[in-house]
Amino acid sequence: MNIRRKFSNSENESDIRRRILQHAIEWAMEAGKLQREKFRSGHIKMDTKSSIHDVVTEVDKACEDLIIGHISSHYPSHSVLGEETGEHQSTGDWEWVVDPLDGTNNYSQGLPLFCVSIGVRYKGETQVGVVYVPYLDELYTATLGEGASLNGRFIRVSRKTVLDECVLATGFPYDKGTNPINNLDNFSAIVPNLRGIRRSGSAAYDLCCVASGWLDGYWELNLKPWDVCAGELIVAEAGGCIQSFRDDRNISIVAGNKAVVSAVMDKLVKP
């Protein structure tokens, strides 16, 4: 992940990003509050999207509407890319990338690992990342060039360098039953070399765990921009790196420190 500066006036840059960060935090936590209120209520309406495995709830939609409503009101010239409603184009160079409820399968099952993810780009480069995990009340934030934090305390990626000592996370695409490029080959190649493997069901949360050092690394394929926009910046600002490992399955990445990313890349089944 290349970090480049695109602003000509650093003072204006700092002021704009600070204001955007505070709004992203406020709106992510507001959506998280709604999620907590509905969680395990037994009365959540559900539907499917791309397949029977790809679910969406009324809470996903309500949270996205809430966040986009705030963005439209406060930043009318900013574009939005939302998981549930797609692109909302505007005239400016700023774009908000919103996953209103990452981990919908967990949420619908009553499992507590789910989050709100908001990344904000300027001319295509992510400037601000916010991930809020409501059930755990964990707020992960990052601003380009200013580091990453968890509940206000700076975080760093793991220092481990040997896969045998590492605990990694991964996931599987919704079309795993119909597309042979489904990560099962990578899973078989990598897991025997690890101390442990985890499957949280939320890409944004996995990336935040890598940034915090709770996980030593993470890989997954067929992700979308809203899954990773905020989390990638949080990992990078925590001293980690992100590397793509194929370009035929949307966003397919490895995250961790440089040594772990290199070791995982060596094990992955290449296209």
pLDDT mean across residues, the chain: 93
Contact (CB, 8 A) for 70 and 83: no
CA 173 – CA 53 distance, rounded (Å): 9
Task: Report if residue 224 sits inside a domain.
Answer: yes
Model confidence band, residue 91 (pLDDT cutoffs 50, 70, 90): confident
Domain count, the chain: 2
Is position 242 within any domain?
Answer: yes
**Domain at 103, CATH number:** 3.30.540.10
Query: Is the model's pLDDT at 4 over the cut of 80?
Result: no
Q: What token pair was written down for 1?
A: 């992940």
pLDDT-based confidence at 14, cuts 50/70/90?
confident
Alpha-carbon torsion (107, 108, 109, 110), positive or negative: positive
Are 150 and 183 found together in one domain?
no
Give residue 98's pLDDT.
98
Q: Coil, strand or helix: which one is 55? A: strand
Domain-located, residue 40: yes
Distance, in Å, from the CA atom of 9 to the CA atom of 256, rounded to the nearest integer, reads 32
Q: What is the pLDDT of residues 95-123, one digit of tens each?
A: 999 999 999 999 999 999 999 999 999 99
Range of the domain at 211: 163-267
Banded pLDDT at 205 (limits 50, 70, 90): very high
Has residue 9 got a pLDDT over 70? no
- The model carries a pTM of 0.93
Higher pLDDT pick, 157 / 12: 157
| Distances from the Cα of 145 to the Cα of 88, 128, 131, 142, 159, angstroms | 28, 10, 18, 9, 21
Residues 42 and 111 reside in one and the same domain: yes
Alpha helix positions (H), the chain: 10-38, 58-74, 104-109, 184-190, 203-212, 225-237, 258-267
Cα 19 to Cα 12, 95, 138, 156, distances in angstroms: 11, 15, 21, 24
Distance from C-alpha of 225 to C-alpha of 270, rounded to nearest angstrom: 22
- Residue 149: per-residue pLDDT: 98
pLDDT at 83 over 70: yes
E strand or H helix at 142:
strand 138-143
Residue 5 has pLDDT above 70, yes or no: no
CB 244 within 8 A of CB 264: no
For the segment 113-142, the average pLDDT, to the nearest whole number, is 98
pLDDT the model gives residue 96:
98
Q: If you search the block for the tokens 């709004």, which residue do you land on? A: 23
Is residue 17 located within the same domain as residue 102? Answer: yes
- Out of 98, 125, 154, a domain closes at 154
> Which tokens in the block code for residue 140?
């992960």
pLDDT on residue 222: 97
Q: Establish if 4 belongs to a structural domain.
A: no
**Secondary structure (3-state) at 218:** strand
3-state DSSP assignment of residue 242: strand
pLDDT of amino acid 8: 47
Residue type for position 171 = G
Task: Identify the pLDDT of residue 54.
Answer: 74
Contact 161, 259 (CB under 8 A): yes
In a domain, residue 2? The reply is no
The reply to whether 30 and 128 lie within a common domain is yes
Structural domain contains residue 141: yes
Of 101, 126, 154, which marks where a domain is finished?
A: 154
Q: How far is CA 84 from CA 25, 62, 65, 102, in A?
A: 20, 10, 9, 11
Last residue of a domain, one of 131, 154, 177: 154
